[in-house]
Amino acid sequence: MSAAQAPAPQQALHEALLRIGDSTLILGHRVSEWCGHSPVLEEDIALANVALDLIGQTQLWLGLAGEVEGAGRSADALAYRRDAAQFRNLLIAERPNGDFGMTLMRQYLFDAYHMLLLQRLTASSDPRVAAIAAKAAKEVAYHLERSADLVVRLGDGTEESRRRMQTALDELWSYTGEFFIADAIDEAMADAAIMPHPASLKDAWLAEVSATLSEATLKVPASTYAHKGGRRGVHSEHLGHLLANMQFLQRAYPTAVW
Amino acid sequence: MYAQMVQTDATHVRKLDEMSPEERAFQERIDRGEKIEPKEWMPDAYRKTLIRQIGQHAHSEIVGQLPEGNWITRAPTLERKAILLAKVQDEAGHGLYLYCAAETLGVSRDELTELLHSGKMKYSSIFNYPTLTWADIGAVGWLVDGAAIMNQVPLQRTSYGPYARAMIRICKEESFHQRQGYDIMMKMAQGTPEQKAMAQDALNRFWGPALMMFGPSDKESVHSAQSMAWKIKINSNDELRQKFVDQTVPQAKYLGLTVPDETLRWNEEKGGHDFAEPDWSEFFEVLAGNGPCNRERLSARVKAWEDGAWFREGLVAHSEKVAARRAAPRAAAE
Ligand SMILES: [Fe+2]
Ligand SMILES: [Fe+2]
């Protein structure tokens, strides 16, 4: 659809829900790749917990997206039977894990945004959206507390840990601009008071992130360039590989029930 | 089991009249069913044996994350992915409880980790087998967690307090593990011909290794006899294996799957099944490091540890900085 033309309300809501649910799905998947391989047992447990929360939220968001769409697609059908171009996740979610510092920084930058988004969504004019957001916000508050704490401790840790965290920040910074870029779907959601306007989250996000990064003795990158496209289905090369892995069984045995 | 073939340093089981007064009092407490707590006196050999056993058990939980982790990213539905994540997370938690129990005996988690990584301590042979299809995730829950439960339920009554309490927490979670595995097998066995074939193939590959989890017959073993006297081993390996077979055979039948043992039959007289011994030469090869996944499993753990060194060091450095900052204004004020 063109940006000038307002989308049909149900269609816009469906798309907007995919943007949230696909982001939690893809990030949850990435986090789950760490299972059994993290630097310390407590982190294995904590990461599994974060992944578990994100997958649980995905079930709710994609479940609602399917319901709104009204075409009989379940959360699983949406997760396992769409190709990359139909995915609407933020690009930051599909960034490869890299080292543990990259994974943590990605989590922190996303958590800070996710928390603000969910807080606003709890006041959504759509009670279904508000209810999911209220449940998810409780979980994400814990994710943010944990990721912010680790960013501070590792930024202000050894020289090596600071270098790794700064490298991660420099690499991921250009994927945060996409949080705040709006298109016609976002405008429609904001007009209907179903979801906040993305740009309205920016100041609070920047304030939260700047405070934490400064406590972590890390330098906020000067670049304001933003990679974008994920939310309208234009992804990096990484997503195709992730989906090939994630969707393997459903694609290889399309009639099977699991 | 998760702790297979634990050495006790014993040449024979000591009798009460061979014991020092302390040791005798200790053995009598165990015989009365009392729990031994960390600060209390215990024979050196008891302590050492427990460290080996609990350490091996903890390592098994940790390495055990890997074969199942192999399918987390490919779990076929969101629900299955969430269940498997929760299950593997539990296993990491079990590792944590057990390392904590071992620490009460005076050995740190880092020391035990070092022993695992250098190959001086073992983990259960079962985790050196690959998970090749989704049905293997079902078979692992059903058979491997099933076998673990057989061993761990009696260990809730073990003589060492912290170990017994860890077992109680662990057992609560294990039955969920087994159920989710059986549930996967059920779906596979009732599914398409391909799914059913995967289920049968998984049972074929995991049956023998699951029987090996209990360890070779220990009827003649001095180590086992001493461990039983100390109540850190409750049943013999053969007893547990028999129980496991008797429980599992009807479950396989219910699934419509065939246990890969042509000699398997009900023996009315003994009130249990007769079954073939697993291939013990394979078991000893796996213990010697020649299982299909020994190298991958251990190197994955070593890599995780080494790659994470900067992370652990960073956290330590930060807490030292914080402590120094807290101390600094006080020192200045004095
Ligand atoms: Fe366990
Ligand atoms: Fe388990």
For residue B5, what pLDDT is reported?
77
Q: Is residue B299 within 8 angstroms of chain A, CB to CB?
A: no
Cα(A220) to ligand 2 centroid in Å equals 44
Q: Which of B165, B134, B130, B149 is nearest to B296 (CA)?
A: B130
Residue A229 lies in a domain: yes
Residue in B72, B303, B314 closest to A35 by CB: B72
Task: Label each residue of chain A as H, E or C.
Answer: CCCCCCCCHHHHHHHHHHHHHHHHHHHHHHHHCCCCCCCCHHHHHHHHHHHHHHHHHHHHHHHHHHHHHCCCCCHHHHHHCCCHHHCCCCHHHHCCCCCHHHHHHHHHHHHHHHHHHHHHHCCCCCHHHHHHHHHHHHHHHHHHHHHHHHHHHHHCCCHHHHHHHHHHHHHHHHHCHHHHCCCHHHHHHHHCCCCCCHHHHHHHHHHHHHHHHHHCCCCCCCCCCCCCCHHHCCCCHHHHHHHHHHCHHHHHCCCCCC
Chain B hits for A39, CB-CB cut-off 8 Å, are 304-305, 307-309, 311-312
Confidence of residue A2 (pLDDT cuts 50, 70, 90): very low
Residue A224 lies in a domain: yes
Q: Is residue A45 within 8 angstroms of chain B, CB to CB?
A: yes
Q: A245 and B73 in contact by Cβ < 8 A?
A: yes
Q: Is residue A33 within 8 angstroms of chain B, CB to CB?
A: yes
Cα–Cα dist A58/A183, whole Å: 23
Interface test with A, best of B70, B85, B94, B325 (most A CBs within 10 A): B85
> What total of structural domains would you count in chain A?
1
Residue A130 neighbours by CB distance under 10 Å: 15
Contacts of B79 (CB under 8 A, 6+ apart): A59, A76
Q: B73 and A99 in contact by Cβ < 8 A?
A: no
Residue A4 lies in a domain: no
Instruction: Report the percentage of chain A scoring pLDDT > 70.
Output: 98
Cα(B254) to ligand 1 centroid in Å equals 25
- CATH number at A39 reads 1.20.1260.10
Residue A85 lies in a domain: yes
Residue A82 lies in a domain: yes
For residue B14, what pLDDT is reported?
81
Which two tokens mark B65? 């994350």
For residue B10, what pLDDT is reported?
78
Query: pLDDT tens across A103-131, in order?
Result: 999 999 999 999 999 999 999 999 999 99
Q: Mean pLDDT across the stretch B117-140? A: 97
Buried b (16+ CB within 10 A) or exposed e, B276-315: eebeeeebeebbeeebebbeebbebbeebbeebebbbbbb
Residue A3 lies in a domain: no
Provide the ipTM.
Answer: 0.96
Q: B195 and A253 in contact by Cβ < 8 A?
A: yes
For the entire predicted model, the pTM comes to 0.95
Q: Mean pLDDT across the stretch A34-56? A: 97
- The four Cα atoms B92, B97, B103, B107 give a dihedral, to 10 degrees, of -30
CA neighbours within 13 Å on the CB side: how many for B62? 32
Q: What domain range is A213 assigned to?
A: 9-252
Residue A258 lies in a domain: no
CB B81 within 8 A of CB B72: yes
